[in-house]
Structure 1
Amino acid sequence: MDTELLKTFLEVSRTRHFGRAAEALYLTQSAVSFRIRQLENQLGVNLFTRHRNNIRLTPAGERLLPYAETLMSTWQAARKDVAHTSRHNELSIGASASLWECMLSQWLTRLYQAHSGMQFEARIAQRQSLVKQLHERQLDLLITSEAPKMDEFNSQLLGHFTLALYSAVPARSKAELNYLRLEWGPDFQQHETALLPGDDIPVLTTSSAEIARKFLSELNGCTWLPTAWAKERSDLRSVSDSTTLSRPLYAIWLQNSDKQVQIKELLKTSILD
């Protein structure tokens, strides 16, 4: 039995809506429908009646519900117990490539110095993927500039960092440079659009600050970089007519995480020093 099928069945039975179940599971609606069909084919029965937006459990679905809840509970307990034996002192931290390059790698060095008995996993991925991993207990801690609005998460504001436009040549204006888009999250794009000409199409889009930095000179470009990080690099020059933007930095973890004590202890070591 594929536990993902049972998890999808439970989410549809909870929401009574394929679209909302898809959002909660970070899947497409067609993927949710396909999983339910797979489960129905395995059991040889229909689990839901579907009449437009009115989705109800069939008698067979009602019968399956307590078994599915018990099976998933047992599976989660087994995973937690088995993982606990090898991961008691291991903590996985997820963030975007640019945050790791500009801030978190230095923070990780300080964590190793302060917590010699810990083992860390530094995971790089897009924010949406990391939120899903956190929700599914595959990740312990997420560092992000945009806090997800989900009730089961705890969040802590760690501070703010400043972004400005930088290039590889001094005293240039935005109009003289090609734009390189370094991804800082969906809500940052609103500020980005307002501060750049509407026809300024990026010649490069990347989630890596180091890649963006490498191509500034080759592409006669400019990009948004953290000011504290950029000032330590002699090859970067601020764009003459650039403004600055303040961005928040959050730590996110599950409210019922069994790593809460370790997480709160780690967060005493500042990231933005």
Structure 2
Amino acid sequence: MDTELLKTFLEVSRTRHFGRAAEALYLTQSAVSFRIRQLENQLGVNLFTRHRNNIRLTPAGEKLLPYAETLMSTWQTARKEVAQTSRHNEFSIGASASLWECMLSAWLSRLYRSHGHLQFEARIAQRQSLVKQLHERQLDLLITTEAPKMDEFSSQVLGQFSLALYASEPARTKAELSYLRLEWGPDFHQHEVGLIAADDVPVLTTSSAEIACQQLSSLKGCTWLPMNWANKKGELHTVTDSATLQRPLYAIWLQNSDKQEQIKDVLKINVME
């Protein structure tokens, strides 16, 4: 039995809506429908009746529900117990590539100096993937520029950092430069208005600040970079007619995480130095 099928079944039975279940599971609606069909094929019964937006459990679905809940609870307990034997001192932190490059790599060095008893894992991925890993207890702590959107998460504001448009040559204006999009989260896209035409696309899109910087000269471009980091790199110049933007930085973790004490200790070390 694939536990992901049972997990999907439980979410659809909770929400009574394939779209909302897909959103909660970070899947497409078609993927949720496919999983339910797989489970129904394995069991040889229909689990839901579907009449437009009215989704109900069939009698077979009602019978399966308590077993599915028990199986998933047992599986989660087993995963937790097994993981504790191998991850007692391992602490996983996830963030985007640009955050690791511009801020978190130096923070990780400070963590090793103050928490030498821990074995850290630094994960790089898109925020959506990391939120899913956090929810499934595969990740201990997420550092991101966006506030949490699920009630089961706790969060702490770590501070703010300043972004500015940088180019490889001095005294350039936005109109003279092509735009390189460095991902700073979906809610950051509103700040890109005016940098490119409505029907145009960036010449480069990346989640890596290092890659964006390496291409500034050859592409005659500009990109948003943290000012502290860009100024330390040198050979980068602010675009003359651009504004400075402030971005928040959040630490996010599960409210019922079994690493609460470690999370508190780790967050005592300032990320923003």
Same fold (TM over 0.5): yes
Aligned pairs for 1:118-197 (under 5 A) are: 118-193=118-193, 195-197=194-196
**1:254 and 2:245 aligned:** no
Distance 1:201 1:57, change over 3 A: closer
Moved more, 54-63 or 79-88: 54-63
1:54-108 per-residue CA deviation (whole Å, 9 max, x = no partner) reads 1111111111111111100000000000000110111111100000000000000
Q: Bigger shift: 49-58 or 195-204?
A: 195-204
Unpaired runs of 5+ residues, structure 1, are none
Report how far residue 197 of structure 1 moved. 4.7
Structure 2: how far apart are the matches of 1:42 and 1:171? 66
Matched with 1:112 is 112
Aligned amino acid, residue 13 of structure 1 = S
**Would you say the 8 A contact 2:179–2:196 is kept in 1?**
no
1:49 Cα deviation after fit: 1.2
What is the CA-CA distance between 1:196 and the residue it aligns to? 2.2
Map of 1:244 onto structure 2: 244
TM-score by length of 2: 0.97
Q: Tell me the distance in 2 between the aligned counterparts of 1:79 and 1:85.
A: 10
Give the length in aligned residue pairs. Answer: 272
What code does the residue aligned with 2:202 have? P
Q: 2:180 & 2:29 partners in 1: Cα distance?
A: 34
Aligned mates of 2:220, 2:81 — CA distance in 1: 54
In 2, the alpha carbon distance for the partners of 1:128 and 1:100 equals 16
Q: Partners of 1:7 and 1:37 in 2: how far apart?
A: 14
- Structure 2 residues without counterparts, runs of 5 or longer: none
1:125 deviation in Å? 0.6
1:1-273 map, 5 Å: 1-193=1-193, 195-198=194-197, 201-273=201-273
TM-score of the pair, normalised by structure 1: 0.97
Q: Is the 8 A contact 2:134 2:253 kept in 1?
A: yes
Output the CA distance in 1 between the equivalents of 2:173 and 2:51: 59
**For the aligned residues, what is the CA RMSD?**
1.1
Question: Which moves more between the two structures, 68-77 or 54-63?
Answer: 54-63
Identity of aligned residues (%): 80
